[in-house]
Structure 1
């Protein structure tokens, strides 16, 4: 375990050192391991800075941010949309099992995750961004609430992702910390995660959940119009329900790219 953590930390330190950027994630990397060499619960400075008070505009050039390519092509953002926000999600994929059926398979019933701002990292250091879901998956699941504005460890918390029902993902990006918008979505595209994706914490698990394209259910009623879930790590359930409880969670992390008109 310790060697894995140190290897990741050293690799990312090398990436950061090679990029002539302002320090935007030092707090996060610095909290990656505590004095025992184990993951810390801190999630510091994932990314976006602000040019002035009460502004949602990033100080980095989002035209430089390019989404990773899926194994099966996902449709591009609709004409007229612009990249508004990129976040790292850390949480769980949720499943149920019919424990009375010996041949039952897990059924997805949604997810819940805390989102951390990585917008400027997406624009300035795509190599680092691509590794953040893997790193986040090794950290404890965040326990803060959207009203925890006084905790400096969550100063760059973008919001929360959860489901209103098994088929309606919701992004609540309006918190006591920032107001980015909120809205519900529907799945319009999916692609299998690459074979190289991290299957779960400590490289143990049943695989990474699919990459997704989500479209707004009510285009007129929300800021974000499309969301892409990319570079997933973990989240897949076992293939069968044998030995599983009626309801269970599987840890995951992912990039979320949010597009607005």
Structure 2
């Protein structure tokens, strides 16, 4: 009888000591690449369904668009200007490091990006255009450039972006044979940090700031101002420790 009581007590102790099962976070377990691409295609499917109920086909009219909420700290477009073009930029932010000063912060030395025509997408679905920027970061930029189409969409090239010198960003929107939108060398007018929830880069880099740029001498096509918004990744590490003399960080933007 005594042995039986001991046996029951042991069972009871085992039952009460059972470990709690861990809670699994679905968001934490899904890689950012999969989440970004899935979000884009899910949103795209929703937009396709919604389009079937429209009374008329959507247009590429940009006149009703405004800057996203995260750009509230940037100066507004100058009086009398109209929105002419929206592009998804996909490329790299470029940096240099002094090998003799590993504790210093990397120095930004410009950027290189291919611009893809997102005007119609943004005009009809601004949220889809923003989602596309996040998804595009997870596709090989070289492949998009070679195919002249932005993965995972079918947007065609509308221009290129690079720097003429340390302070002059250049946007060439004359590269398409379909239309010539102009060229604009420009300098930074204002900058604000990307929103706290801005998507990270391929190696969890923070999103580069949002900018307003003003034209310098030599702009054509009536182009006067450029905004960089909806940035994805692109920031350098805090210091040069362990970094090469020159390096690139992939990014996307609108």
Specify the TM-score bucket, using the shorter chain as the normaliser.
Answer: 0.7 to 0.9
Greater fraction helix: 2
CA 1:194/1:91 → structure 2, altered by over 3 Å: closer, same or farther? same
Alpha-carbon shift at residue 137 of structure 1 (Å): 0.6
Structure 1 residue 129 and structure 2 residue 129: aligned? Answer: yes
Change (3 A) 1:189 1:96: same
Going from structure 1 to structure 2, the CA distance change for 1:209 and 1:185 (only over 3 Å counts) comes to: same
CA RMSD between the two structures = 2.5
In structure 1, the residue matched to 2:214 is 215
Kept after mapping to 1: 8 A contact 2:40/2:135 = no
Partner of 2:235: 236
Partner of 1:184: 185
Q: 1:249 to 1:6 in 2, by over 3 A?
A: closer
Determine helix, strand or coil for the equivalent of 2:217.
Answer: coil
Quick check: 2:181–2:221 contact (8 Å CA) kept in 1?
no
* Equivalent residues in 2 for 1:44-83, closer than 5 Å: 59-70=59-70, 73-83=73-83
Q: Which residue of structure 2 aligns with residue 84 of structure 1?
A: 84
Shift of 1:247: 1.0
SS in 2 for 1:142: helix
How far 1:221 moved relative to its partner? Answer: 4.5
Give distance in 1, aligned partners of 2:144 and 2:42: 31
Structure 1 251/8 Cα, relative in aligned 2: closer, same or farther at 3 Å? Answer: closer
Across the two proteins, how many residue pairs are aligned to each other? 214
| Contact preservation (8 Å) 1:184, 1:218 | yes
TM-score by length of 2: 0.76
Task: Indicate whether 1:14 and 2:36 are aligned.
Answer: no
Q: Helix, strand or coil: the match of 1:62?
A: coil
Give ranges in structure 2 of 5+ residues lacking alignment: 1-28, 53-57
1:10–1:249 distance in 2 versus 1, CA, 3 Å: closer
Say which SS state the counterpart of residue 45 (structure 2) adopts: helix
| Equivalent-residue separation in structure 1 for 2:32 and 2:233 (angstroms) | 17
| TM-score, normalising length: structure 1 | 0.74
- Gapped regions of structure 1 (runs ≥ 5): 23-57, 256-261
Distance 1:101 1:5 in 2: 34
2-side partners of 1:134 and 1:144: how far apart? 15
Aligned equivalents of 2:244, 2:148: Cα separation in 1: 37
Deviations 1:60-107 (A, max 9, x none): 221232221226510010011000000000000011111112332101
Higher strand share: 1
